[in-house]
Amino acid sequence: MSYARASDIGHFSRRGDPALSEGYVKQFFSRVIKKKHEGDRITFKHNTIYVLPSMTGMGFVAVSALNFVLGINYQNNLLLGVAYLMVMLLVVSIIYGYINMSGAQVRLISIQSAHRSTPPTVTFELSTKAKLLQLSIEHNLIKQQIDLPLVQTRELASIGFMFPRGKHALGRFKFVSHFPFGLVCVWSYLYCNKYIYAYPDPKVDTSNRLEFISHSDDKQYIYTSSHLSDEFKQLAPYQSGMNMHRISWRHFAKTQQLLVKDYEGEAGTHTLGFDFDSLQGTVEERLEKLCYLVLQAHQNNLSYALKLGPRLIEAGQGELHKIRCLEALSDY
């Protein structure tokens, strides 16, 4: 005679749990829907549009059913006629609601990471051959939905997020329309797998700007308190990522060659170094101070490196280097 183990009994009982079964069903449909709606763009068509009666529409159906029952019970043709008209109106609303969204396209065109107080924004391009009426954009991380009463041919919609500091997945956007009479809800989704950063807000702290020297032999860093000189040294060929404000336009007018001005202290191994561990305050306060130092160094076109605990971002300059440092501060 064989006996079932206790673990097997528990396994079978869990499989029969209605709550778990419902969870599996939701996960299955969520994966199926996400697979159809993933990407940076989507076209609203028969397999990406969903239509159901809205809450108003459900009340409308209930009143229609009540009129139908009363009309039969009391043999009142007027009530029966009203019930039929209400049903026809709901059917027409479903058809026109679908036609309203069908064929429209949504495309993600820009992701603008920014400081928490700015805030970060995402911009969509909506295009349609006909008019698209009463469209709303919803997301679980925005407090109020974005309403677009009318979209003609091409429209840009920007969405601002009030994020805490950090790296955030964009996730799911929902596009909803209640056209024509608010009786139906017509919607679609767009799942974005990209990320947006909420940088720390800069906090002024000029007393902790340090310079370190990199030794290529042992890769150690010696911190000193010297500052860079503003004395002009030489002209150097322009490279991608350099600050456009350093270009010598007078030489460009003469020679048609892009040259940038170098100053004493910028060449060689000397560079500014910003170290998280050398600052005082809470984690957020130190990140805000580092954010300020990074922005100041970038504004003055200085070469700088950033050290966040064990992570070191090598010295560099330019817009891409600044963004890399700010993203590291956000994700710390």
Q: Indicate if 40 and 166 belong to the same structural domain.
A: yes
Q: Indicate if 108 and 192 belong to the same structural domain.
A: yes
Torsion angles phi and psi, residue 325, rounded to 5: -70, -40
Q: Indicate if 185 and 224 belong to the same structural domain.
A: no
Q: Residues 25-51: pLDDT tens digits?
A: 667 767 778 888 998 999 999 999 999
- Identify the bridge partners of residue 214 per DSSP, sorted by sequence position: 221
CA–CA separation, 179 and 194 (whole Å): 31
Torsion angles phi and psi, residue 2, rounded to 5: -105, 150
pLDDT of residue 19: 53
Domain assignment present for 326: yes
**For residues 124 and 332, which has the higher predicted lDDT (pLDDT)?**
124
Domain that holds residue 75: 29-198
pLDDT of residue 65: 94
Q: Residues 77-95: pLDDT tens digits?
A: 999 999 999 999 999 999 9
Domain assignment present for 237: no
pLDDT of residue 211: 41
Q: Residues 136-159: pLDDT tens digits?
A: 999 988 888 899 999 988 999 999
Nearest Cα residue to 202 out of 285, 287, 288, 275: 288
Q: Indicate if 168 and 293 belong to the same structural domain.
A: no
Domain assignment present for 23: no
Q: Indicate if 215 and 189 belong to the same structural domain.
A: no
Q: Which residue has the tokens 């970060």?
A: 120
- Number of domains, the chain: 2
Q: Indicate if 48 and 147 belong to the same structural domain.
A: yes
Is the predicted pLDDT of residue 3 greater than 50, yes or no?
no
Q: Indicate if 165 and 309 belong to the same structural domain.
A: no
Q: Indicate if 303 and 180 belong to the same structural domain.
A: no
pLDDT of residue 225: 34
Write out 45-91 in H/E/C secondary structure. CCCCCEEEECHHHHHHHHHHHHHHHHHHHCCCHHHHHHHHHHHHHHH
Q: Indicate if 214 and 149 belong to the same structural domain.
A: no
Q: Indicate if 270 and 192 belong to the same structural domain.
A: no
